[in-house]
Structure 1
Amino acid sequence: MKHTLSVIVEDESGVLSRIAGLFARRGFNIESLAVGPAEKPGISRITMVVPGDNRTIEQLTKQLYKLVNVLKVQDITDIPSVERELMLIKIHASKKYRSDILDIAYIFRARIVDISSNCLILEVTGDPGKIVTIEQILAPYGIIEISRTGKISLTRASNINTELLKNTKFIEKSFAY
């Protein structure tokens, strides 16, 4: 199972290296990694996606807390949260298929950030499922390059799990009079 960890650290040189080293020494892969400033100056948030069972993640969490600059570690996998990812995707876009690609971009609310006579670069932002879906749909046109950020995530203050809301039976039962 993949787990999403949110790690709050002091913004000092070498912190990310020590965390990556911890994972490497224990033979764990980090599938996705995003780092950036958090809400307070001098503090950064690291969002990482790592494979493992609950026991393994619990052990990793304990090991992370032993690192000096780590302030908080939270496994937010099962906590209602907002997840986003950014992808830049360069696609072959001949005149014959350009309008089809632009229609797909419109449907996915992607932005055209570069255009030439034979290719387009799209900027796509959304949950990881949206990113994977548009990539699959655009694959037949010929993907030249892709650059993706790691997943970023914040827990929802409302504590409402929107995955449950996507289930129409749940919505119908909730609003039945």
Structure 2
Amino acid sequence: MKHTLSVLVEDEAGVLTRIAGLFARRGFNIESLAVGPAEQMGVSRITMMVPGDDQIIEQITKQLYKLINVLKVQDITEVPCVERELMLIKVNATSANRSEILELVQIFRARVVDVSEDSLTVEVVGDPGKMVAIVQVLSRFGLREIARTGKIALTRESGVNTEYLKSLQSKLQ
């Protein structure tokens, strides 16, 4: 199972290197990694997707807390969260299929950020499932390049689990 870890660290040189080294030494993989400033000055938030069972995640958490610059580690996998990724996709676009691609881009609430004679670059923001879906739909036109950020996430203060609500709604339909 993939777990989402939210780690608050002191914003100092070498922190990310120490965390990556910890994972490498213990043979753990990081599937997705996003780092940026947090709400407090001098603190950064690292959001990582890590495969493993609960025991492995508990071990990783304990090891992370041993690093001096780590302030807080939270497994937010089962916690109601707002999750987003950003992806840029460069897709082949001829005059014959450009309008069809533009329609698909609108359906996914994505936007075109660059146009050339034979390609379109599309910006997509959303949950990881949306990223997979739009790649699948646009792949028939020929994908030239893809750049994708790691997942970022914040817990929902409301406590509302939208994934649970979506599953209930689909059962009712």
> Smaller-chain TM-score range?
over 0.9
What is residue 23 of structure 2 aligned with on the other side?
A: 23
Q: Secondary structure at the match of 1:167?
A: helix
SS at match of 2:150: coil
C-alpha distance in structure 1 between counterparts of 2:167 and 2:116, whole Å: 41
Counting matched residue pairs gives 172
Q: Unaligned stretches of 5+ in structure 1?
A: 173-177
Q: TM-score, structure 1 length as denominator?
A: 0.95
Q: Counterparts of 1:12 and 1:164 in 2: how far apart (Å)?
A: 38
Counterpart-to-counterpart distance in 2, 1:53 and 1:28:
12
Residue 86 of structure 1 is matched in structure 2 by 86
Q: Which residue of 1 aligns with 2:53?
A: 53
Q: Secondary structure at the match of 1:166?
A: helix
* CA deviation vs aligned residue, 1:69-88 (integer Å, no higher than 9, x gap): 00000000000000000000
SS in 1 for 2:77: coil
CA distance in structure 1 between the aligned counterparts of 2:111 and 2:21, rounded to whole angstroms: 37
- TM-fit CA distance, 1:165: 1.0
State whether residues 38 and 45 of structure 1, in contact with CA within 8 Å, keep that contact through their aligned partners in structure 2.
yes
CA distance in 2: counterparts of 1:57 and 1:114, whole angstroms: 41
In the alignment, the residues of structure 2 paired with residue 2 and residue 165 of structure 1 have an alpha-carbon distance, to the nearest angstrom, of 21
Give the counterpart letter for 2:52 in structure 1.
G
Q: Which residue of 2 aligns with 1:175?
A: none
CA apart distance, 1:170: 8.1
Gaps of 5+ in 2: none
Pairing of 1:95-174 with structure 2 (within 5 A): 95-168=95-168
**Backbone CA RMSD of aligned residues:** 1.2
Query: SS at the partner of 2:13?
Result: coil
Q: State the TM-score, normalizing by the size of structure 2.
A: 0.97
1:48-90 Cα offsets, whole Å, 9 max, x none, are: 0010000000000000000000000000000000000000000
Report the Cα distance in structure 2 between the residues aligned to 1:104 and 1:50, rounded to whole angstroms.
32
Matched position secondary structure for 2:28: coil
| 1:67 aligned partner | 67
Find the aligned partners of 2:111 and 2:170 in 1 and give their Cα distance.
33
